[in-house]
Chain A
Amino acid sequence: MKIFSLRYPLSLTLPHKRGRNFRNIFERIVRLLLWLAAATSVVITLSIIFSVLIEAIKFFQLVPISDFLFGLEWSPQLALRVDQAGSSGAFGAVPLFLGTLLITLVAMAVAIPIGLFSAIYLSEYARRSTRNILKPMLEILAGIPTVVYGYFAILLVAPALQKAGASFGLDIASESALAAGLVMGIMIIPFVLSLSDDIISAVPKSLRDASYALGVTPSETIKKVVLPAALPGVMGAVLLAVSRAIGETMIVVMAAGLAAHLTFNPLQSVTTVTVQIVSLLVGDQSFDSPKTLAAFALGLTLFCITLALNVLALMIVRKYREKYE
């Protein structure tokens, strides 16, 4: 039985009696405002889901969801007549999913080894002074806007890759998945580095000490003791990095292609979900045209996938935390 309550003012003997009624009312109003502010975050999430869902549903009334999720041809320009949309199957998003996947894979192939090994070196080997200089420097990489990376891709990386490919007799597209993935990987390095560093540092010193005391070298300790202990956390970090890569827009808008080729060859040009969202919505069209609606359908897919990845990552990390606390 709860007895305490702060609700009612009281008649009392101290001078500021009248003030207190006012103060109580004032406090209740302020509390209400604070509660409303907190509820806003829920409202925002609901609005996102709601607004994207409504438009996506409108889209799925024009194009069946199975065509969208499993169709192999993406050419929204053709499907300008509503009656054409469903039948020609021009809103099949598989090339987009594959393109996104390809670029993400390239990016992960770059970011994870470099990020993880750098984190290992910084937390296990590097001197304090080195670490204090390099870690902030690499965190600067994290703060660089993605449009800068996109420009870097078209300025340097894509042409360089093309030339390098030509000298090996390979035909690398100017908007290859390799170029886009490479730059995206660079962008994700600080993310992986920072997360891995936190996770590795969280492994208790006592474990390392026990290993060293047995005459095990640092690298063996890392490989056999620290990393296995940190593994769930690292996996969570990888999932989060993948989620970040999938949701990234500007790098791919600038460095990847617009045409939806169905290929797994990184030397060719592919397009991604985010590129298509931008391309479909940029420019003046009526809000209800199938192109706009398709963008929302893609947005819904993106939202769901990144949400799922993040929840999964969180669950894995949480499970990991339980082990030490």
Chain B
Amino acid sequence: MNRLDKRLRAEKRFRFYGQFALGLAVAMLALLVGSIVVRGASGFTQTQVRLPIAFDPMTLQLPPGSDAADASVSSYQLLAQASLKAMFPEVTDHHELRDAYHLISGNSGAVLKPVLVRHPGLLGQTKNVWLPLASDADLYVKDGMPEHTPGGYSKLNDKQIVWLKTLQQKNLLRSAFNRSFFTQGDSRSPERAGFLAAMTGSALTLIICLLVAFPLGVMTAVYLEEFARKGHFVDLIEVNINNLAAVPSIVFGLLGLAVYINVMGLPRSSALVGGMTLAMMILPVIIISTRAGLSSIPGSIRDAARALGASPLQVVWHHALPLAMPGIMTGTILGMARAIGETAPLLMIGMVAFVADVPTGFTTPTTVMPVQIYLWASSPETGFSEKTAAGIMVLLVLLLAMNALAIFLRKRFEVRW
């Protein structure tokens, strides 16, 4: 009986280890996602200050009758600064004034200009406009405006804190949805940094990747599954595909660098090269899933078609491929999901530069979402941290959607043989 007790207790312990391990794994997942959501949520909001802006033609250096668009963005910035100065008339010292000006975003001019362009009648008038705060001020407010500046992270001095509190008390601050995150590209100032350039770049790169990998992958799988005779060549191809599937992604980057950029002279950091590099990486995924789809079709269908006089190509085109299509689609989507998150190979082909403009074509310098995330994560400014997390959230949502689509396709079109 004693022995049995020991064994039963050992059983309970073992079972507990399993539960513990599982719990640990789930907890880590929750921690990972949770910490990023907590940090990233604030990246989607922006603290704004309502200032009365006097659209003074003299400051804008606009002679009467000229177009609002002719004035430079920096002169619109002066309007914002003038308003701030008026808000705190007691500040006279030159350096202190500059500190006050640093409370609002250095890109406020870019926000003001379209206002006047759209409503030219405002010239000479005053209007209340919500302007974004600069990164440090923005973060401070989001943090709940603690009494003392927390050690290290905030670069605001005491005076700036007092001013912010004043603005707060006058109800001139609000938290608004950060539209610029989705409408702007990267920026040196964190409060204006946006994800659009990266999102567009990812889309362009994925298009190229799909255009290269899908036909090649499906055709290879069709050849291997339907036409190839057993032999050394086929074995060689299969071994190759399995090896390619296990090569670290960074090696594909080296290949892209050596062949596409150095030998073929294609433009660095472009969606074209990025897409081609990623295509080689996900080729095995598409091949393997297409083959799986094709081989799951029972031979009786093929026999029936052949017995009717269909040529091998007709058998594939009329019967095998259409029936295998759900599996092929699922595999392709999963391959795309992998490609969209890859960073290392794209770093190799040059996507490390600061790219602020939204890419216009397949050959212009591009960045992609994971690279943008990496660049933001490596930036010293604290304001980029929430942007990084926000960008990660966008990427994860996209990935979730793609995986859900793949699962939906699989369930919906699953044919039971």
Which of A's residues lie within 8 Å of B, judged by CB? Answer: 23, 27, 30-31, 33-35, 37-42, 44-45, 47-48, 51-52, 54-55, 113-118, 120-122, 124-126, 134, 137-138, 140-141, 143-152, 154-156, 186, 189-190, 193, 217-220, 222-223, 240, 243-244, 246-250, 253-254, 274, 277-278, 281-283, 287, 295-296, 299, 302-303, 306-307, 310, 314
Contacts and interface: CB of A to CB of B under 8 A. Distances in A.
B18 A121 contact: yes
A42 B36 CA distance: 41
A118 B240 contact: no
Contacts of B287: 41
Nearest to A243: B246
A48 B254 CA distance: 8
B156 interface: no
B223 A27 contact: no
Contacts of B18: 117-118, 120-121, 124-125
In this complex, the member of B25, B35, B287, B344 whose beta carbon has the largest number of chain A beta carbons within 10 angstroms is B25
B122 to A, nearest CB: 43
B21 interface: yes
A249 B377 contact: no
B197 interface: no
A110 to B, nearest CB: 9
Contacts of A296: 254, 258
Contact of A303 (B251, B284, B373): B251
B8 interface: yes
For A41, A146, A193, A287, the residue with the greatest tally of chain B CB atoms inside 10 Å of its CB is: A41
B347 A152 contact: no
Nearest to B251: A303
B24 interface: yes
B247 A303 contact: yes
Q: Which secondary structure characterizes the binding site on chain B? A: helix
Interface in B165-217: 215-216
A210 B8 CA distance: 19
Interface in B363-409: 370, 373-374, 377-378, 385, 388-389, 392, 395-396, 399-400, 403
11 contacts: A41-B287, A115-B21, A143-B341, A145-B343, A152-B32, A155-B389, A220-B10, A247-B248, A249-B248, A277-B250, A278-B348
A246 B26 contact: no
A41 B262 contact: no
B83 interface: no
B332 interface: no
A282 B347 contact: yes
A193 B25 contact: yes
A37 B343 contact: no
A125 B22 CA distance: 12
A116 B22 CA distance: 10
Contacts of A152: 32, 35-36
B21 A117 contact: yes
B59 to A, nearest CB: 41
Q: Give the secondary structure class of A's interface.
A: helix
Contact of B219 (A34, A141, A147, A249): A34
Contacts of B216: 37, 40
Given A38-B220, A38-B223, A143-B337, A250 B374 contact: yes
Interface residues of B, number: 84
B374 A254 contact: yes
B61 interface: no
Contacts of B338: 143
Interface string B223-247: 1100110000000110011111011
Contacts of A30: 313
Contacts of A52: 251, 254-255, 258
Given A38-B228, A51-B254, A147-B373, A281 B348 contact: yes
A310 B243 CA distance: 8
Contacts of A217: 7-8, 10-11
Contacts of A151: 36, 373, 377, 388-389, 392
Nearest to B215: A37
A121 B17 CA distance: 9
A146 B341 contact: yes
Given A146-B343, A220-B7, A118 B21 contact: yes
A299 B251 contact: yes
B223 A37 contact: yes
A125 B11 CA distance: 11
Nearest first, the 4 A-B pairs at minimum CB distance are A247-B248, A145-B341, A121-B18, A117-B21
Nearest to A45: B240
B324 interface: no
Most A Cβ at <10 Å: residue of B18, B29, B242, B347? B18
A151 to B, nearest CB: 5
Nearest to B400: A140
B377 A41 contact: no
A225 to B, nearest CB: 14
Contacts of B257: 281
A116 B21 CA distance: 8
B28 interface: yes
B341 A277 contact: no
B313 to A, nearest CB: 5
B26 A137 contact: yes
Contact of A156 (B14, B35, B219): B35
B263 to A, nearest CB: 8
B39 interface: yes
B342 interface: yes
B246 A274 contact: no
A222 B14 contact: yes
B370 A143 contact: no
B247 A48 contact: yes
A218 B248 contact: no
Given A118-B22, A307-B246, 12 more contacts: A30-B313, A41-B283, A47-B255, A47-B259, A126-B22, A148-B341, A150-B377, A248-B248, A249-B248, A281-B257, A302-B248, A314-B242
A274 B248 contact: yes
Contacts of B399: 143-145
Nearest to B255: A48
A250 B250 CA distance: 10
Contacts of A303: 247-248, 251
A33 B222 CA distance: 11
